[in-house]
């Protein structure tokens, strides 16, 4: 195994090599720099991909690139109401952007999902942007930046988009399939956990960053009104442990009225009780992947559960129970590469129907049960926040053993995550940044304050 300091130097150089410049200023990083594969859209800067990169830059004191990223993406945000339904909604942030030129004049070209595979809407981009703005302010103590009229308006537009009146009865955020890190059809349309955890995080970030003035009065009140019912809804209705499983197992269906216990009319036969009762450890629990009418998606989605821990969307007891599941089911969720994006994978007829026979999302590959090394930084942060340092050290040791020799692969295939993804890019930037961020977090615990909410 390489010396850790030498490995960090290699990783930092690779991260620096990925930086995109707009004029004389750094504005982001490309998604990947794999010399053996056609770039496609991997030569663009994705907002969600840049988050771990930005945090590494902030830790290293390179705040300029993060500031310029925040400014330029804010300029790309849709500011005016659109009359054409084919245009992005006001407040939406792009999924990605690239620097291009016309007659030797540079400009930024944004993709709001109108060029993406499947034309998916990047709901998570604006939520991650708010998360990063807060981290930047905490790292630099530059509250004046967040308090500029431009940033305040940008925050308001994001919240207006998320908190607008809609055809929905729940405090959660209703989104289409593929609206987040899982950006292909995977049966997560509706109220997927990842979006709800990011939504809660963004609301808390906005509450810290919005000025208490007349212009923000209505939106501040709307944020306060949404937080309490949202946190109750997620903690109560998304939570799965053996006690909760026993309650759902004995649900009566077709209940009507305010006193109904089975609020979502979940049918017991739709829950894989046999597998869950064996898989869930006695002291374990986690947030379900999705919830809706007659639907409880019992898959374990890593990103949503880890973000829920960092934002304190889960109680301290629930956070410990999630970490108990990760520790007890290490081979399923971590395996040879931290960590699996969801478990278990969709297979057979479920895979055919829910993914549309997507060959990239075949069982135990890509978003369908593949292992993603970028999740290492979130796993490490959650482990440190819950006092489970051993989990963080063990995961980093695994990543250190494989990532450098595998040339910083994008994702891994197989039930145990032992195979480099069939279509995985090498020198994937957020893989590199996720590794660097994880190692810095364990070395300097105070950095955790940039990304957690107490």
Which pLDDT tens digit goes with each residue over 63-98? 999 999 999 999 999 988 766 666 778 899 999 999
Give Cβ neighbours of residue 400 (< 8 Å, ≥ 6 apart): 1, 2, 4, 7, 435
Estimate to the nearest angstrom the gap between the alpha carbon of 115 and the chain centroid: 21
pTM value surpassing 0.75: yes
Residue with tokens 């993603």: 372
Identify the band that residue 212 occupies on the pLDDT scale cut at 50, 70 and 90. Answer: very high
* pLDDT value at residue 106: 94
Q: How many beta carbons lie within 10 A of that of residue 175, not counting itself?
A: 21
Least confident window among 27-36, 84-93, 187-196, 370-379:
84-93
Contact 36, 417 (CB under 8 A): no
Structure tokens at 280: 């869930």
- The continuous run of DSSP H or E covering 319 comes out as helix 316-328
* pLDDT value at residue 83: 65
Contact 364, 415 (CB under 8 A): yes
Domain map of the chain by residue range? 1-165, 329-454
What's the half-sphere exposure (Cβ side, CA atoms, 13 Å) at 259? 0
Identify the band that residue 450 occupies on the pLDDT scale cut at 50, 70 and 90. Answer: very high
* pLDDT value at residue 6: 85
Share of the chain above pLDDT 70, in %: 98
Query: Reduced to 3 states, what is the DSSP secondary structure of residue 4?
Result: helix
CA distance 77 to 75: 5
Contact 271, 283 (CB under 8 A): no
* pLDDT value at residue 82: 67
* pLDDT value at residue 257: 87
Residue 342 has pLDDT above 90, yes or no: yes
Give Cβ neighbours of residue 11 (< 8 Å, ≥ 6 apart): 408, 432, 435, 436
Residue 235 DSSP one-character state: I
pLDDT (tens digit per residue) in 243-272: 999 999 999 999 898 888 889 999 988 999
What's the half-sphere exposure (Cβ side, CA atoms, 13 Å) at 56? 29
Residue 141 has pLDDT above 90, yes or no: yes
Residue 166 has pLDDT above 90, yes or no: no
CA distance 382 to 257: 39
Contact 206, 159 (CB under 8 A): yes
pLDDT (tens digit per residue) in 286-331: 999 999 999 999 999 999 999 999 999 999 999 999 999 999 999 9
Q: Is the peptide bond before 339 cis (omega within 30 degrees of 0)?
A: yes
Residue 181 DSSP one-character state: S
* pLDDT value at residue 2: 64
Determine the average pLDDT of the residues in 165-170: 86
């Amino acid at each position: 195994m390489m010396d850790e300091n030498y490995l960090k130097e290699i990783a930092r150089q690779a991260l620096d090599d990925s930086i995109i410049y707009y004029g004389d200023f750094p504005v982001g990083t490309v998604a990947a720099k794999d010399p053996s594969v056609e770039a496609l859209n991997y030569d663009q800067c994705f907002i969600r991909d840049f988050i771990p990169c930005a945090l590494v830059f902030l830790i290293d004191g390179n705040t300029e690139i993060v500031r310029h990223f925040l400014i330029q993406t804010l300029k790309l945000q849709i500011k005016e109401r659109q009359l054409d339904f084919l245009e992005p909604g006001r407040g939406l942030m792009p999924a990605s952007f690239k620097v291009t030129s016309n007659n030797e004049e540079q400009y930024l070209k944004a993709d709001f999902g109108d060029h993406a595979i499947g034309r998916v809407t990047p709901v998570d981009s604006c939520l991650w942007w708010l998360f990063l703005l807060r981290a930047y302010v905490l790292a630099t103590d530059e509250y004046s930046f967040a308090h500029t009229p431009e940033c305040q308006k940008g925050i308001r537009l994001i919240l207006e988009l998320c908190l607008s009146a809609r055809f929905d009865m729940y405090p959660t955020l209703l989104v289409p399939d593929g609206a987040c890190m899982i950006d292909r059809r995977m049966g997560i349309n509706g109220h997927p956990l990842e979006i709800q955890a990011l939504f809660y995080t963004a609301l808390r970030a906005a509450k810290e960053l919005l000025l208490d003035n007349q212009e923000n009065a209505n939106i501040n009140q709307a944020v306060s009104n949404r937080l309490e019912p949202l946190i109750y809804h997620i903690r109560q209705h998304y939570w799965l442990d053996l006690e909760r499983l026993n309650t759902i197992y004995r649900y009566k269906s077709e209940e009507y009225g305010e006193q109904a216990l089975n609020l979502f009319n979940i049918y017991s036969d739709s829950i894989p009780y046999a597998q869950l009762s064996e898989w869930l450890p006695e002291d374990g629990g986690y947030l379900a992947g999705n919830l809706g009418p007659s639907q409880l998606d019992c898959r374990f989605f890593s990103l949503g559960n880890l973000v829920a821990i960092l934002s304190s969307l889960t109680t301290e007891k629930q956070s410990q129970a999630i970490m108990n599941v990760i520790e007890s089911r290490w081979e399923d969720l971590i395996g040879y590469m931290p960590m699996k994006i969801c478990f278990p994978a969709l297979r057979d007829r479920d895979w055919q129907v829910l993914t549309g026979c997507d060959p990239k999302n075949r069982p135990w590959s890509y978003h369908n049960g593949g292992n993603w090394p970028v999740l290492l930084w979130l796993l490490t942060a959650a482990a440190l926040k819950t006092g489970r340092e051993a989990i963080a050290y063990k995961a980093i040791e695994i990543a250190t053993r494989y990532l450098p020799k595998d040339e910083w692969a994008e994702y891994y295939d197989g039930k145990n995550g032992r195979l480099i993804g069939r279509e995985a890019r090498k020198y994937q930037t957020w893989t590199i940044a996720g590794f660097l961020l994880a190692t810095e977090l364990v070395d300097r615990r105070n950095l955790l304050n940039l990304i957690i909410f107490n």
